[in-house]
Structure 1
Amino acid sequence: MVDESLLMQRMSGRKLSGLIAATYTPMKQNGDLNLDVVPGMVEKLLSDGVSGLYVCGSTGEGMSLTTQERKSVAAAYVSATAGRAPVIVQVGHNSLREAQDLASHAQQIGADAISATCPSYFKVSSSESLTHCMRDLASAAPETPFYYYHIPMLTGSNIDMVDFLTRADKAVPTLVGLKYTDTKLFEFQRCLELSNRKFDVVWGCDEMLLGATATGARAAIGSTYNLAASIYRQMTLALASGQLETARQWQSKSIEMICTIGRYPFHPAMKAILTMQGLDVGPCRLPLESLTQSQTDSLRESLKAIGFFEWSGDLPAPSDA
């Protein structure tokens, strides 16, 4: 039975806000988990002004981990965060049975919300089928708010999210919104405005955060908030105070940073930068390849050339403002 009073308490008035870091999963050089690093990572992110954590998503290599490893990573982040910020655990899996197991575990350890991609080997081709999949998955955590993770570039399921939200509203009692990782601002806006702004739709494309914020985004989940949350905080502060040109300049810094990192395998490069910043999260797990030493050195020099290590800290304004 669903404890409806507890569910309503957890879902009522608790829309996400601010920057939510899609966390990395620390690993040893042999690819084993290195969860001793998690508390230090959490402290870094909270001190950087991050307002929440998204665990075992694409950034956290959730799909490359075993079910037991995913449970261990989720528990480590929930424990280290200790209620100071919401922790959302990504539980999507090609096997809905495994996803249900992960969802149930996330609820047991006290995660603030769960989120899930759809199965992606056999593609989900309709909003009706997606609703059925997410209904079954979310039912395993009946007292935990649920966010569908829309990332068509990886799942291959490019389903209209307005249609999905309309269908799933009644079918999935714990549905509160989306992690929207696509570039269609018009669809994102339609989702935000659906049913008198009922749904919590969270933006997921870091290099377009300015446009999403102008469209109405209140929260964003992203990888680069691990490295340079201050860039985005300065951007949103500038926009809120009417300094549009300054906000654009901060977004330009983000774009320059992401384009520079994008010249290398992205997530391995991100992990290498975290190590440069003093947080050794180790390599990625296959099939993601780690950077060679030559690539790491080149990446460091490329970041120096754009001033990353200077302007990724807490600065009052872009250097060219």
Structure 2
Amino acid sequence: MIQGSIVALVTPMFDNGDVDKDSLKKLVDFHIEQGTDSLVAMGTTGESATLNEHEHMDVVKSIVDYVAGRIPVIAGTGANSTSEAIALTAAAKEVGADACLLVTPYYNKPTQEGLYLHYKAVAEAVDIPQILYNVPGRTACDMLPETIGRLAKIERIVGVKEATGELSRVSAIRDLCGDDFAIYTGDDASSCEFCLLGGNGTITVSGNVAPKLVHDMISAAINGDRETASSIDAKLTGLHNQLFIQSNPIPVKWAVSEMGLIEQGIRLPLTWLTEDCFEKVCSAMQQAQVL
């Protein structure tokens, strides 16, 4: 089971929107040095929605190659078309990803039965560990714990990223899915409490900026050390809030560029962080002692 601090990696770009492979390699080394437990390549934070399929898989392959087996790489392969999700998942397996993260189909708003059949089809088609991803704030589709429980019985479906921020879902999903099923949070603000309640880790945006702090906080929380976890999380509160002051990944890319790790590049329709937000994000970075 992949556990701990799993960073949803930003995709470095030049100001014309082209992917910056040199900075991508630098980011991979940075996270491994800082103790990040795993990386998600081409999640929401990686701007998967604005890269075409060829670019998407090229970034996944580059990250897998740069990591070279040092930590697990999870490829984002979700889509609102089942056939496209199968194709992306098969491609991720081909380039050597360790697991795949599949967001619930967005915009078309499937029923719970539709969600079950969608994920079942992907799991039956591609032999790679698969992690469900529930983020109704972005997809307008909430996968209920009961549906996750049904899917947990399917071979190859090994976990869920639960990004509702509802802490009651930790125990509900655990009761339905058992101890061998991984439960990750996708909500940085509640990640400390989520893991203290029995979650297996976080798929984090804040970890892009303060990877060591997030790793240490999540490790303490998984081990039941509330005092240490809460003390570290207090330093991260600003990041958890201000990295969402505008749509993710706008603020986090600005923050990582301020650290000198990437250039100022982002894909339309996303735009660079506006100047009125600079001070708030900078203050959060100072609180976390990364500036």
Q: If the length of structure 2 is used for normalisation, what is the TM-score?
A: 0.91
The separation in 2 between residues aligned to 1:240 and 1:116, in whole angstroms, is: 24
Select the structure of larger CA radius of gyration: 1
2:151 partner amino acid: A
Q: Secondary structure at the match of 1:249?
A: helix
Match of 1:110 in 2: 96
**Runs of 5+ consecutive residues of structure 1 not aligned to the other structure:** 1-14, 315-321
Contact 2:4–2:219 (CA under 8 A) maintained in structure 1: no
Percent identical across equivalent pairs? 27
1:44 and 2:30 correspond: yes
Aligned match for 1:136, one of 121, 127, 137? 121
Q: Secondary structure at the match of 2:202?
A: strand
Match of 1:183 in 2: 165
RMSD after superposition: 2.3
Q: If the length of structure 1 is used for normalisation, what is the TM-score?
A: 0.83
Match of 1:4 in 2: none
CA deviation vs aligned residue, 1:146-192 (integer Å, no higher than 9, x gap): 1111111111111312x11332244x421111111111111122212
Per the TM alignment, residue 216 of structure 1 is displaced from its structure 2 partner at its CA by 0.9
1:25 and 2:8 correspond: no
The separation in 1 between residues aligned to 2:29 and 2:46, in whole angstroms, is: 17
Q: Secondary structure at the match of 2:45?
A: coil
CA deviation vs aligned residue, 1:97-156 (integer Å, no higher than 9, x gap): 222111111111111001111221211121x211111122233322x1011111111111
In the TM superposition, what are the counterparts of 1:168-207 in structure 2 within 5 Å?
168-170=151-153, 172-207=154-189
The separation in 2 between residues aligned to 1:166 and 1:242, in whole angstroms, is: 25
The separation in 1 between residues aligned to 2:11 and 2:282, in whole angstroms, is: 26
Match of 1:319 in 2: none
CA deviation vs aligned residue, 1:8-34 (integer Å, no higher than 9, x gap): xxxxxxx11110100111112111222
1:312 partner amino acid: Q
In the TM superposition, what are the counterparts of 1:1-321 in structure 2 within 5 Å?
15-126=1-112, 128-142=113-127, 144-161=128-145, 163-170=146-153, 172-236=154-218, 244-292=226-274, 294-295=275-276, 299=278, 301-305=279-283, 308-309=285-286, 311-313=288-290
Contact 1:231–1:312 (CA under 8 A) maintained in structure 2: no
Contact 1:177–1:199 (CA under 8 A) maintained in structure 2: yes
The separation in 1 between residues aligned to 2:90 and 2:283, in whole angstroms, is: 47
Per the TM alignment, residue 305 of structure 1 is displaced from its structure 2 partner at its CA by 4.2
The separation in 2 between residues aligned to 1:178 and 1:243, in whole angstroms, is: 24
1:115 partner amino acid: L
1:225 partner amino acid: G
